[in-house]
Structure 1
Amino acid sequence: MNHFTIFASKNDTDDIEDKLSDILAKSFTIEKNDNEYLLKSRGLFNKYRCTINILTEDTNPDYFAKNIPGMMGFYNSIPFKDEQLKEQVMIQISVLNTVVAIEMDKEMTDDHMQQFIKLLASIGGIGFLSDGTLLDQNGMVIVYPNGESGPSVFRPHACTRKIHAHEMTSAQGEARKNRTIAFLMDKEIPYASSLPQLPPVENLQFKSQEDIARRAVALLIVIQFACDVAQRGDIEESREFFTNMLRTYGVHEFLTEHEKFFLEAQHPGAQEAVNISWQYEAYWTLIWALGLVEELNFPDDVCDCEYAIQVVSRCETFEQFYGQTVLRSKEDIVDEADKIYRLHWACVDSRINGQEAPLALNESVVMERRRGLFWMIGYQGEEWDTISMDT
């Protein structure tokens, strides 16, 4: 191994040069060139050269914009045995703003490594080995690349500068945002670093499992009526049939006011029928959250409408339908909301620039998924028909 990297959250780096001198000057001569330090071993034999670069968010913003999300993606992909530790690591990475990158021209010896661990301890932060092993500031392993926890009792640390910069946000939200950006980078989908993060889980007003289930059934029924309208079916017969279904499942009150007006209109509009029919995609997120869909696939195509109908139609009562649901974790739901939010930005950015959406993203699918996910998390208290689609 000839690389070792120290990541830290620091208000400034003015003291790092003194720390380098205090710890490494006995073994190396040190020459400075801006934020790069060239170290040469003092011994007559086994000559070594070492380069140390210091990067900060202020001096190298592009590095942090690219590499911090990449680092988040790397550790997010590791199968941590301890999920709480994973969350702590993600939070720590999200507030890093300083890098001390060390490169030797030969393999590091144990003696060199001990000196670099002393430097890590004096700077604070975490140490990154080339195989992905993560060390705490005392050189103890936090996590191995296979997900096994090390002996470190790790707690994240953020400097006051980073804390104040996130006063209107949160470390949790920043970690989530960076995980999404890592996902987008992996797929080479454009993203906007300036797009705000979503609030932490505890600050959102989640819908209950039963509310989601009743809303899902009510929505599916009104979608079926809308499909009949769009296909110029017998409106009165369809209206009577689906109104009876709403009563059978006891979900009429879970229609929006707009949907009630559409259902009761003497001449429901064809375009409105098409718009409501697209909400199959919003409904899909609801039954995903209820554990009835295994995963939300990449939104480049419409959902499986036949299956979407069957999950309700095979049940004779709401209670039977509700009994087969298992609500996903709030964290999983917000993660998907964050992802669809940023995918929506990519769709809009492509459209306004006259380009095809990346990876054939379907903007209509994306928008309706956003409606369902943002409604479930209670984002800004918005109602179903008025979910903001700003990016």
Structure 2
Amino acid sequence: MNYFTIFASKNNIDDMEFKITDVFAKGFAIGKNENEYLLKSKALFKKHKLIIRVMSEDTNPEYFVNNIPGMMGYYNNIPFEEDPLKELVLTQISVLNTVIAIESEKEINEDQLLLFTDLLSKIGGIGFLPNGTLLDDEGAVIVYPDGKSGPSNFRPQACTHKVMGQEVSSEEGEQRKNNTIAYLKERVIPYTASLPQLPPIEDCQFKTQEDIARRAVALLIVIQFACDVAQGGNVEESRDFFVNMLRTYKVENYLTENERDFLQALEPDVQEAINISWQYEAYWTLIWALGFVEELDFPDEVCDCEYAIQVVSNCETFEQFYLQAGIRSQEEILDEADKIYRYHWACVDSRIQERPAPAGMNESIVMERRRGLFWLIGHRNEEWDTISMDT
């Protein structure tokens, strides 16, 4: 192993030089070129060199655009043995904005690893090993590459810039936020006034009716295949049938990369199948937006899966399905997105406090509906499989 990476959520990187010097000055001569540090060991024998690169969303925005969605997708696909831990990890990844990448000239030894974890503890955040193992800021394993939980009692950390500071305030957004909070008060559901506004309508990138319709049909077909896999059905027969359905409805190009990989896998992962089957709730928001569902009920019971299937199965072609659809107003969709955002905060807060979700909410339903609604409004222009779940 020649690499060790620290990911963090920081308001700035002004103190990084001090932290790096504090950890390494005793054993290394340290040179600096902007945000790159060259470390040469002071030992007479076993000379060693390290390069430490410090990057933030401000200094290297392209790194985060290109790598964080992939990191989110990677851990989303790992079969965590504890679903709550998976959500905590994905939440942490969603608010990362700082990277300290350590490259060693030689294989990293135990003494150097101790130095790296010391730096990790001073910076805060998570440590990433090349095999996919994640460490907390005390060096304890959060999760192994196979999804097995480590001994860490991990809780995400987020800087105020990621949680609050990047908010663009608007009168419309504030009114929508206040309306949702008034609704939550009526139902005695916890809330926090510090949770940011969602953008106003003019700053959203709403999906078109056709995009929503094709995504809905493609997703429903993949969900049906996932249900067969989860129930131990004949994978080959099921795959052939549902691939043919994708072609019949002309929606093959509306699969996500993860869905395509799952559909093509020789031995589809059962846990991934279960995760995809939960996306009935995300699909439910899509057919609500298309007018097939009258209203989004409170997220305490799963949707009507039989009706959800019939919405598409009663149509022989995509064109027939599309002609029956409409599109809800952007105001309605954004109002529901704001509501689910604040529902999710209430669920996460209750879980952290080791209390049941308020008002009987099911957090898995809330998360999947958030996926669908945030995709509909084009939140941060995120892709379906990497919708951030930060609260």
TM range (shorter): 0.5 to 0.7
Cα distance, 1:259 vs. partner? 0.1
User: Are 2:233 and 1:227 aligned?
Assistant: no
Whole-Å Cα distance in 2 between the matches of residues 290 and 167 of structure 1? 29
Match of 2:188 in 1: 188
Q: 1:166 to 1:365 in 2, by over 3 A?
A: closer
Match of 2:319 in 1: 319
Match of 2:337 in 1: 337
> What amino acid maps onto 1:199 in structure 2?
P
Match of 2:265 in 1: 265
Unaligned runs of 5+ in 2: 1-164
**TM-score in terms of structure 1 length:** 0.57
2:204–2:378 contact (8 Å) kept in structure 1: yes
Unaligned runs of 5+ in 1: 1-164
SS at structure 1 position matched to 2:354:
coil
1:322-349 residue CA offsets vs partner (Å, 9 max, x unmatched): 0011100001000000000000000000
Whole-Å Cα distance in 1 between the matches of residues 277 and 181 of structure 2? 31
1:36-60 residue CA offsets vs partner (Å, 9 max, x unmatched): xxxxxxxxxxxxxxxxxxxxxxxxx
Q: How does 1:336-355 map to 2 (within 5 A)?
A: 336-355=336-355
Identity of aligned residues (%): 73
SS at structure 2 position matched to 1:233:
coil
SS at structure 1 position matched to 2:308:
helix
Whole-Å Cα distance in 1 between the matches of residues 167 and 369 of structure 2? 29
Match of 2:288 in 1: 288
User: Are 2:249 and 1:246 aligned?
Assistant: no
Whole-Å Cα distance in 2 between the matches of residues 276 and 167 of structure 1? 31
2:167–2:197 contact (8 Å) kept in structure 1: no
Whole-Å Cα distance in 1 between the matches of residues 313 and 167 of structure 2? 48
Whole-Å Cα distance in 1 between the matches of residues 315 and 269 of structure 2? 30
2:168–2:199 contact (8 Å) kept in structure 1: no
Whole-Å Cα distance in 2 between the matches of residues 374 and 381 of structure 1? 9
Structure 1: which 4+ aligned runs deviate by more than 2 Å?
165-168
Cα distance, 1:185 vs. partner? 0.2
Q: 1:264 to 1:166 in 2, by over 3 A?
A: closer
1:49-81 residue CA offsets vs partner (Å, 9 max, x unmatched): xxxxxxxxxxxxxxxxxxxxxxxxxxxxxxxxx
User: Are 2:304 and 1:304 aligned?
Assistant: yes
Whole-Å Cα distance in 2 between the matches of residues 167 and 228 of structure 1? 43
Q: How does 1:1-391 map to 2 (within 5 A)?
A: 168-391=168-391
Cα distance, 1:167 vs. partner? 8.8
Cα distance, 1:168 vs. partner? 2.6
> What amino acid maps onto 1:173 in structure 2?
G
Whole-Å Cα distance in 2 between the matches of residues 237 and 220 of structure 1? 18
Match of 1:27 in 2: none
Cα distance, 1:229 vs. partner? 0.1
SS at structure 2 position matched to 1:216:
helix
> What amino acid maps onto 2:284 in structure 1?
W
> What amino acid maps onto 1:325 in structure 2?
A
Cα distance, 1:301 vs. partner? 0.7
> What amino acid maps onto 2:197 in structure 1?
Q
Whole-Å Cα distance in 1 between the matches of residues 353 and 168 of structure 2? 31
Q: 1:243 to 1:170 in 2, by over 3 A?
A: same
Larger Rg over CA atoms = 1
**TM-score in terms of structure 2 length:** 0.57
1:228-284 residue CA offsets vs partner (Å, 9 max, x unmatched): 000000000000000000000000110100000000000000000000000000000
SS at structure 2 position matched to 1:303:
coil
